[in-house]
Amino acid sequence: MSFNDRRKKYTRRKYCKFCANKDIVIDYKNIDLMRQFTSDVGKIEAARLTGTCAKHQRKISNEIKRARQMALIAYVVE
| Per-residue confidence (pLDDT) for residue 5, from 0 to 100 | 61
| Per-residue confidence (pLDDT) for residue 45, from 0 to 100 | 94
| Per-residue confidence (pLDDT) for residue 34, from 0 to 100 | 93
Rounded Cα–Cα distance for residues 15 and 41 (Å)? 24
Domain residue extents for the chain: 15-69
CATH topology of domain 15-69: 30s Ribosomal Protein S18 (4.10.640)
**58 has a pLDDT exceeding 70:** yes
Average pLDDT, the chain: 88
Q: What is the pLDDT of residues 14-47, one digit of tens each?
A: 889 999 999 999 999 999 999 999 999 999 999 9
User: Which string of DSSP letters, residue by residue, matches 11-70?
Assistant: -PPP--HHHH-TT----TT-HHHHHHTB-TTSPBPPHHHH---HHHHHHHHHHHHHHHHT
Rounded Cα–Cα distance for residues 73 and 43 (Å)? 11
